[in-house]
Amino acid sequence: MSKTNPGNFFEDFRLGQSILHATPRTVTSGDQALYCALYGGRFALASSSEFARKLGFSEAPVDDLLAFHLVFGKTVPDISLNAVANLGYAEGVFGVPVYPGDTVSARSEVIGLKENANRQTGVVYVRSTGSNQRGEMVVQYVRWVMVRKRDPAAPAPPDAVPQTSPAVEPGAFHLPAGMAVADYDTALAGSPYLWDDYAIGEQIDHVDGMTIEESDHMAATRLYQNTAKVHFNQHSESQGRFGRRLIYGGHIISLARSLSFNGLANGCKLVAINGGRHVAPTFAGDTIYAWTEILDKQRLAGRDDLGALRLRTIATKDHPCAGFPSKASGEKDYHPSVVLDFDYWVLMPRGKS
């Protein structure tokens, strides 16, 4: 009897199945430093404990997307080791901040299954939850992934496709306990522009580009303990559709978020992920650019010092974003340079009234 784990294939999943993922991960300041080295993020809240304490945090929390990736990485051996592609995200919410010293673990529930017409693959829908050592939720999200079948002739369960919300409502946000922005320093944060300065429909070209090195995405996937073969194994991927390793889609999300600092420096905290699509693959050597559209602005109940911006960030490869390439309403296809379409909410201090 084999003692190794080949990963789950489509026919191994069952609706309602609950999966506790190995292994718990204690987060360190080294993880945060390596994350900064990989993406060059400059958001002050995750960069400076002194800055964070003035906002009511005990110290600088780790970057929200680092927490997301650590949880995502836990799920890969059970959910997407045999995946063809990760297809999308919905209903993502960030809970309590993660600090160095916290231990993060993850569990997923299978909430949907649908075999594809070719019977070679199927789509698995899961709701994954990351928790700290006290059982407090740090991040929760739905994702759906196309997974290979072990045996194309194997019977499939009846189709069950969950209905997900198009956006997380502000009432579902988890605002960090004690967060206050009376002493928020825009000079130290890197921009004078606050919530009141942005308009719905405004588009921002983040100007800068960042080229992906092979060593970058290999270090990133190891940091997250993401074991997907398509990111690690050039020997096997040389025989695949692209002939080389794919960049982990979350790597592009983090690059786009870091690039968005130039224009959205005061979007200090992610609170929700409404949706996301990895439009096209990326590879080492690609240069990533990004632009953002302000989709919505919301005041927060009981807070006149803090607001939420709903952002749609588009990332491209080898194509600057001054022309705001995307897929407009009614268009069938994206601009050929687009690799990511990401919809999320951030918190931003409001101007002094």
pLDDT at 101: 98
pLDDT at 240: 84
- The answer to whether residue 89 scores a pLDDT higher than 60 is yes
CATH of domain 15-153: 3.10.129.10
pLDDT at 97: 98
pLDDT at 167: 97
Q: Are strands 137-148 and 269-278 parallel, antiparallel or unpaired?
A: unpaired
Q: Percent of the chain having pLDDT more than 90?
A: 88
pLDDT at 44: 98
pLDDT at 105: 98
pLDDT at 332: 81
pLDDT tens for residues 100-143? 999 999 999 999 999 999 999 999 999 999 999 999 999 999 99
CA distance 236 to 321: 34
pLDDT at 329: 63
pLDDT at 57: 97
Confidence class for position 330, pLDDT limits 50, 70, 90 = low
pLDDT at 234: 85
Stretch 57-85: mean pLDDT: 96
258 contacts 210 by C-beta, under 8 angstroms: yes
pLDDT tens for residues 2-49? 899 889 999 999 999 999 999 999 999 999 999 999 999 999 999 999
CA distance 32 to 257: 15
- Tell me which residue has tokens 């489509």: 10
pLDDT at 84: 86
- The answer to whether residue 305 scores a pLDDT higher than 60 is yes
* Domain spans of the chain, in order of start: 15-153, 191-212+247-353
pLDDT at 88: 93
Instruction: Measure CA 147 to chain center.
Output: 20
Cβ neighbors of 88 (< 8 A, separation 6 or more) are 143, 144, 275, 276, 277
pLDDT tens for residues 170-184? 999 999 999 999 999
- The answer to whether residue 352 scores a pLDDT higher than 70 is no
- The answer to whether residue 353 scores a pLDDT higher than 60 is no
Phi/psi at 91 (5° precision): 50, 40
CA distance 177 to 42: 23
In the three-class reduction of DSSP (H, G, I as helix; E, B as strand; rest coil), residue 99 is classed as coil
What pTM does this model have?
Answer: 0.96
pLDDT at 271: 98
CATH class of 191-212+247-353: alpha beta
In the three-class reduction of DSSP (H, G, I as helix; E, B as strand; rest coil), residue 70 is classed as helix
pLDDT tens for residues 198-254? 999 999 999 999 999 999 989 999 999 998 888 888 888 888 888 888 999 999 999
In the three-class reduction of DSSP (H, G, I as helix; E, B as strand; rest coil), residue 39 is classed as helix
Q: What does the mean pLDDT of the chain come to?
A: 95
For helices 214-223 and 249-259, the axis angle rounded to 10 degrees is: 110
- The answer to whether residue 146 scores a pLDDT higher than 80 is yes
pLDDT tens for residues 270-303? 999 999 999 999 999 999 999 999 999 999 999 9
